[in-house]
Chains A and B, each alone.
Chain A
Amino acid sequence: MLSAMTYIPLIGAVIIAILPSRNPNAYRWIALLTTGINFALSLYTTLTFVRGQAGYQFEEKARWIDSIGAGYHMGVDGVSVLMVQLNGLLFLIAILVSWYPIQKRVREYYVAILLLNVGLVGVFCALDFFLFYIFWELVLIPMAILIGVWGGANRVYAAYKFFIYTLVGSLLMLVAIIALYFQAQPLVGRFTLDIVEITNATANRPLDYTFQILAFLAFGSAFAIKVPLWPFHTWLPDAHTEAPTAGSVILAGTMLKMGCYGFIRFNLPLFPDASKDLAPLMIGLAIIAIIYGAMVALVQPDMKKLVAYSSVSHMGFVILGLFTFAYGLGGQSGRTTDRLLLANTQAFEGAVFVMFAHGLLTGGLFLGVGVVYERLHTRDIKTIQNTTRVASRMPVYSTVFMIFAMGSLGLPGISGFVGEFLVMQGAFRVNGWLAFATSFVIIFAAIYLLWMYQRVFFGKVGDYDPAVALSHGAGHHDESHGTLAADNAATNQSGPAAGADNTFHGEHGKHPTPDSEKFGGGGAAGIDTNRVGTDSLPEKGSTHAVPAKGHDTGHGKHHPDPDVLANGAKFPDLNLPEGLALIPLAILSILVGIFPAWVLDFLTTSGSQLTITMVEHSNTLAEIARTVGK
């Protein structure tokens, strides 16, 4: 089952690569079919997954490279089945939203995205270090290609940065894997790279403490870069900003989870003593990430960058949850572990819930940004604010986007709240101030998300007043002929399109009709065009008083894409693929928010298993210490 899920995208990629047809729709349908099957399989896996059962399910085992002890071992537990499910859903969505935007090198695009799918499913299912590492690196190349070929203006820089940054981390992990392989050999009794065997062996007999610390740092650096944890986050805004929409969705939705998953699967169970002793460090970094991400998101002029930094903040919650969980467990440090901390599985559950919810919500936010970008060819919040009022033109889209924004800022009832709440509860058990600090950040989240929403979707403040809008139209009627002609000649910066619009506008002024308001059909283009040029007008209630001046001050460096003006008329609400992608995602994130037990049920067993793994060995250690008489 898991292997089928992993390799079906590979088959799809090969078919697309060798397909004789040159029709891009063929590629799209094959990719959709492939990810559809993949999604169905992941759904089947999730539904048939036995939730109360400890250990791994759907296990597949085969011999592979005997000489180095690497085997082919796949399996999922509660955490990874959720990730696989999320992955299946997001890839289906990613294919849908790429339907129209991607018109360049369509074949290569779908091959890359399907290969990415192979890598991501594999990472979450692999239970052998060698296999895991292969999938881990396999993710890197297609993602770098997606950013580098189909990305924005600065894409090559971003792709390079992404590749090198994550490669350094994973190579350090490789060294740690090999070292662990030798350290575990006396414990397991033979050379093996099997994750389950090594984990079980180290649960009974802990690894050497110094080795634990070093290996924790080596693994941790790879995962912290992927998460990304402050101060390793600098690649993320670049990668996100430059990536195509689908790339951003995958990047935020599942790739960042690879790092969190790595912490859960390797760092906590394999190095529990190090996890406990380094927990304060990790908690500190997580708090910095949470606050820093939110603060930086506040000042972002670019929608996508804003969402990217909010991701940094949310991922900080995951790490906070995981290490407040680890804080009470493990332990050579001699700190007493009180009962409340020992049973802190809700921090763990909260962390994984944040991972899941963040995949839905931030995935949705990136999709939403992509939708605006497709229509306006800009993501600059100010420019959009000055250009148009999205909410009136795209009501469905605005509603859906609002759900994602509200969920992301932690509104109860939507999935984002549950995880953050649980994590904060867990943090409270460690230290009340931690919870205090993080809960403040939610206010910041509300500020940046609401600001963005207001400015992007409702445009200028003055536009709220229909009367102003009316007078705006009337002002045209009065003055447009004279001023605009001059204005056109002097400061027209938008080429023939704007010129044509202005002429049209003049005509429009001659024959005003009641319903040719600025949101109405054809006239919209003309009026919007003018508003771009003279954006300081409406709230002052005046008309086109000083158009040239308005130009200079209003735009500053944020020049709208000339296409914005040309596209003013074509401003449809969500099209079919976008709707199919966004609306179910929004519904799902509400459902998960109302019925969090759907997700949490998967995690209870995993959480308690992890607790046992981490505590059991520390008890043994305590026993050893007692007998030796330390």
Chain B
Amino acid sequence: MSFLTNTLLQISTAKPSFSGDDLYRILPELIVLVMAVLIVILDLFLPKRSRPALGYLAIAGYVAALVATASLFYYGNPNKTSFSGMFIRDDFSSFFEIIFLISGILVVLVTPSYSLKRGIPIGETYAIQAFSVLGMMIVGASGDLMAIFVGIELTSICSYILTGFARNDPGSAEGSLKYFLLGIFATAILVYGMTWTFGMTGSTNLVAISQSIQRNGLATDPGLTLGMLLMVVGFGFKIAAVPFHLWTPDAYEGAPTPVAAFMSVGPKAAGFAALLRVLIQGLPELAAQWSVIIAVLAVLTMTLGNVVAIAQTSVKRMLAYSSIAHTGYIMVGLAAYANTSSPERQNDAISSVLIYSLIYVFMNMGAFAILIYVQNRQGGPDVDDFDGLGTWAPGIALAMAFCLLSLTGIPPTGGFLGKFYVFRAAIDNGYTWLAIVGVLNSAVSAFFYLRIIYTMYFNPLKDEARAKLQPTKTGFITAGVVVICIAILLLGIFPDPALNLARDGANPLIYVVRATSGS
């Protein structure tokens, strides 16, 4: 490692803003980048038969990056900016990188059995996923609107491609096209918001923006408010908040299921990372304004997601709406930030977003992984296809029940802890009504989550359907599901380490805010 950094140091002394230190701070990103490029190259030369082995390379890459992130985290992140303030390596970025890398690993585990069965090119899938993860990591670690934009776009473009990856399936192409058209529209709005912000404050650097607002008393400036609104709309699209969610059900339904699983966790978390960075780090002075907007959007998002999910007959679509609803829960934590000036409570709010995002990755991935298994065996993603899962795949059914209970928020699962933490932040910061809306929504969500559990255990599998069950390779998925279930249980029963990580992860944002407002 020191050799590597030394070498890089020698190469990189050309420009003053680009030092070896910078490279050491982006080590996790570099590892993922190298891994992605390697996969692209190897995919060209490997015979088709041995391409699935690229999955091991992908996992190895993610794990290496995870180790790098964790050690940076453990040995104290430098909390410094690199590349002229474009890139920030702090606990916040490290926490989100952990989320992204975990979702990357999990998606590699669930992909092969689905893609191989349907003839979807697997090497390219891995490569594009890796690029997407890279984009998210950049978003999490960016200290500048430009870097956020680059990262978001890298992620989004990869998502458009992945959605349309089942080339023989018209649904996939349709979903991809819808997603793409609406996505570029949202991106345009986002950029427009960024230009307004830049125009008003004279900088794209988040810290400089907040300083400029403070210095020039821009907090009530309508132009800046417009910029903030436009950016919230743009990010709202990425996290699938109502009313910017319209692409979600179609894109998820059309996309290959592993891609839908990936999109429902990774890019969503990246959107939240961007929102947190921009709103809390860049626009803390406007908190009174954006907090109300986020709170209202949270109510809409939770309610619509849960209510519409009840009516779905396809589990895939149902999970799409459920992912919208969970966006709403996370937004509750974000909204809670604004109502307080005590750093302790601000930390509560931010860390609730972080911990919920982490738990959500596991439970949602778990539900999707089992959906993939059922799709492989039964052919379809409908609720009926889960008939009697409890008898023909008892272990998988148990895991599914566990994930669904976690999504409902029943203790002792991680989902409960996440909800507890989010609602705690909301109540603490004077948003009791928001917490009550969230709690009632949890009760509503029990309807559709329980329906699947009911189907799995109480509906018998019809004989003709049993005859049609197809064989599938389960090794990777089983491994993934086991990891997920253990993680959900641990996060539910012994959440202390994860909570401490999340609290650490939330600190940098608060300190930056205090530093700027103090100066």
Contact = CB atoms under 8 A, between A and B. Distances in A.
B partners with A: yes
Contacts of A137: 410-411, 416
Contact of A171 (B412, B432, B442, B495): B442
Interface in A46-65: 64-65
Interface stretch (A172-180, A253-261, A558-566, A604-612): A172-180
Contacts of B458: 148-149, 156
A130 to B, nearest CB: 8
Nearest to A174: B439
A569 interface: no
Interface in A155-195: 156, 160, 163-164, 167-168, 171-172, 174-175, 178-179, 181-182
A171 B329 CA distance: 15
Given A65-B496, A137-B411, A175-B432, A160 B450 contact: yes
A95 interface: no
Interface residues of B, number: 30
Contact of A175 (B439, B450, B496): B439
Given A141-B405, A149-B457, A156-B454, A175 B443 contact: no
Interface of B is mostly: helix
B31 interface: no
Contacts of A149: 457-458
Contact of A163 (B424, B442, B446): B446
A428 B378 CA distance: 67
B342 interface: no
A334 B273 CA distance: 54
A537 B421 CA distance: 70
A285 to B, nearest CB: 23
Interface string B384-418: 00000000000000000000010000111000100
Given A133-B411, A179-B432, A164 B443 contact: yes
A140 interface: yes
Contacts of B412: 134, 138
Nearest to A144: B450
Contacts, number: 74
Contacts of A172: 436, 439
Contact of B495 (A65, A140, A178): A65
A164 B451 CA distance: 12
A181 B436 CA distance: 16
Contacts of A181: 424
B411 A171 contact: no
B435 interface: yes
Contacts of B503: 67
Contact of A182 (B420, B427, B443, B500): B427
Given A134-B412, A137-B416, A171-B442, A67 B499 contact: yes
A515 interface: no
Contacts of A15: none
Contacts of B499: 65, 67-68
Interface string B414-457: 00100011011001100010011001101100110010001001
B454 A174 contact: no
Contacts of B447: 164
Interface of A is mostly: helix
A66 interface: yes
Interface in A40-91: 64-68
A182 B428 contact: yes
Which of A133, A156, A171: most chain B CB closer than 10 A? Answer: A171
Interface string B495-509: 110011001000000
B427 A179 contact: yes
B500 A134 contact: no
A138 B411 contact: yes
Contacts of A65: 494-496, 499
Contacts of A68: 420-421, 424, 499
A150 to B, nearest CB: 11
A167 B427 contact: no
A175 B500 contact: no
Contacts of B411: 133-134, 137-138
Interface in A249-301: none
Contact of A66 (B442, B443, B496): B496
A140 B410 contact: yes
A171 B445 CA distance: 12
A163 B442 CA distance: 13
A254 B411 CA distance: 20
A601 B224 CA distance: 71
A149 B388 CA distance: 13
A283 to B, nearest CB: 28
A148 B405 CA distance: 16
Interface in B450-469: 450, 454, 457-458
A277 B457 CA distance: 47
A182 B421 CA distance: 13
B330 to A, nearest CB: 17
Interface string A387-407: 000000000000000000000
B139 to A, nearest CB: 27
B500 A67 contact: yes
Interface in A122-163: 130, 133-134, 137-138, 140-141, 145, 148-149, 156, 160, 163
A295 to B, nearest CB: 31
A64 B416 CA distance: 16
Nearest to A133: B411
Given A149-B457, A178-B420, A167 B405 contact: no
B500 A174 contact: no
B435 A178 contact: yes
B122 to A, nearest CB: 35
Contact of B427 (A67, A141, A163, A175): A175
A386 to B, nearest CB: 34
A133 B492 CA distance: 13
Nearest to B405: A141
Interface in A86-139: 130, 133-134, 137-138
A149 to B, nearest CB: 7
Given A68-B499, A160-B450, A178 B443 contact: no
Contact of A141 (B410, B416, B435, B454): B410
A171 B424 contact: no
B454 A175 contact: no
Contacts of A168: 440, 443
A144 to B, nearest CB: 8
Nearest to A159: B454
A454 to B, nearest CB: 39
A175 B436 contact: yes
Contacts of B416: 134, 137
A134 B443 CA distance: 16
Given A67-B500, A149-B457, A175 B423 contact: yes
Contacts of A164: 443, 446-447
B427 A178 contact: yes
Contacts of B500: 67
B302 to A, nearest CB: 13
A149 B411 CA distance: 22
A164 B446 CA distance: 7
Contacts of B436: 172, 175
Interface of A: 64-68, 130, 133-134, 137-138, 140-141, 145, 148-149, 156, 160, 163-164, 167-168, 171-172, 174-175, 178-179, 181-182
Across the A-B interface, the 9 shortest Cβ-Cβ residue pairs: A134-B411, A67-B499, A171-B439, A168-B443, A178-B427, A134-B412, A137-B411, A178-B424, A65-B496
18 contacts: A65-B495, A65-B496, A65-B499, A67-B499, A67-B503, A68-B499, A134-B411, A141-B410, A148-B458, A156-B454, A168-B440, A171-B439, A174-B420, A174-B423, A174-B439, A175-B439, A178-B424, A178-B427
Interface of B: 405, 410-412, 416, 420-421, 423-424, 427-428, 432, 435-436, 439-440, 442-443, 446-447, 450, 454, 457-458, 494-496, 499-500, 503
Given A67-B499, A67-B503, 9 more contacts: A65-B496, A66-B496, A68-B420, A133-B411, A137-B416, A163-B446, A164-B446, A171-B443, A182-B428
